[in-house]
Amino acid sequence: MNKNNNSSTAERILDIAQDLLQRKGFNGFSYQDIAERIEIRKASIHYHFPSKTDLAVSLCERYVNQFVERLHQVEQKNDSCLQRIKELFRFFARIIRDQEKLCPITMLTAEIEALPQAARLQLQRFITETECWLGRTLEQGKRSSELHYEGSFQSQSRILLAALQGAMLLARATGERGHFQSITDDLLKQLQKNSSQAISARIESPSLAVGIL
C-alpha cells in the first residue's frame, strides 16, 4: 500500500468515525462498526489508529483545524460583522438538518471524561478559537454601530456559543429543527441596533463548509 492509499484510507476511517460520532456519541460505536461501513478489516483500522483514543485525538484535531480555517474564510469573505455571525449560525443549522446528528464537539464534550488529554486540549482549543473569533467580530460590529449588545464582547461571545450548542441539543431532543431556527433568529435580532435596520435573520441556505460536516 503506497503513501497516498494510506492517507486515503485514514481519511475514510475518520470520515466514517465522525459520522458515527455525530449520531451515536464516542462510546456508541466500535472499530467493527467502522470496518463494516468501509468494508475493511479491523486490523487495517488499528494500523492507522492503534487505539480508539488515538482515533479520538485525530478526529478532534482534524475537525477543529477545519472549523477554524472556515471561520477565517468567513471573516475574509464578509466585511459585515452581522453577516459573519449569520454564516456561523448557518453552519450549525446545516448540522441539524439531519435530526440524528449533533456537532462533533457537543458529542465529545458530553463524554469528556472518557477522552485522552490530547483530545481534551483540542476541545478547549475549539472553544477558545470560536470565542475569540466571535469576540473579535462582536467588538468590530459594536465599534462600527452595526451590532448592539450589553456587557463585554467576551461575555457576549460565550453567551452566543452556549446558546448555539444548547439550541442544537433542544432541536435534537424535540425533533423540531424550528426550535433552533427561532432561537437563532432571536439572537440575531437582539444583536441589531433596532428592528427597522434588521437584515433578514433567516438561515435557510447554509453556505459554510460542506467538507467538515
Please determine, for residue 66, whether its predicted confidence score (pLDDT) is greater than 50. Answer: yes
Please determine, for residue 194, whether its predicted confidence score (pLDDT) is greater than 60. Answer: no
Q: Rounded CA gap, 150 and 156, in Å?
A: 8
What mean pLDDT value characterizes the chain? 87
pLDDT of residue 195: 39
Please determine, for residue 28, whether its predicted confidence score (pLDDT) is greater than 50. Answer: yes
pLDDT over 70, % of the chain: 86
* Topology given in CATH for the domain delimited by 59-197: Tetracycline Repressor; domain 2 (1.10.357)
Please determine, for residue 211, whether its predicted confidence score (pLDDT) is greater than 50. Answer: no
Helices (H), the chain: 3-24, 31-38, 42-48, 52-77, 81-95, 104-110, 117-143, 153-174, 177-191
The residue that leads in pLDDT, 175 or 99, is 175
Helix (H, G, I), strand (E, B) or coil at 29: coil
pLDDT band at 205 (very low <50, low <70, confident <90, very high): very low
Q: What is the torsion angle, in degrees rounded to the nearest 10, for the CA atoms of residue 165, residue 52, residue 112 and residue 170?
A: 30
Chain center to CA of 170? 16
pLDDT of residue 161: 94
Please determine, for residue 111, whether its predicted confidence score (pLDDT) is greater than 60. Answer: yes
pLDDT of residue 15: 96
Q: What is the torsion angle, in degrees rounded to the nearest 10, for the CA atoms of residue 60, residue 206, residue 198 and residue 145?
A: 40
pLDDT of residue 88: 95
* Number of C-beta neighbours around residue 82 at 10 A: 19
pLDDT of residue 171: 84
Please determine, for residue 206, whether its predicted confidence score (pLDDT) is greater than 50. Answer: no
Q: Rounded CA gap, 188 and 186, in Å?
A: 5
The residues, any chain, with a CB within 8 Å of residue 25's CB and separated by 6 or more, are: 107, 110, 111
Contact 168, 194 (CB under 8 A): no
The residues, any chain, with a CB within 8 Å of residue 63's CB and separated by 6 or more, are: 18, 104, 105, 122, 126, 212
User: Three cell numbers at 172?
Assistant: 435534537
Please determine, for residue 3, whether its predicted confidence score (pLDDT) is greater than 80. Answer: no
* Domain range summary for the chain, segments of one domain joined by +: 59-197
Please determine, for residue 134, whether its predicted confidence score (pLDDT) is greater than 80. Answer: yes
pLDDT of residue 175: 78
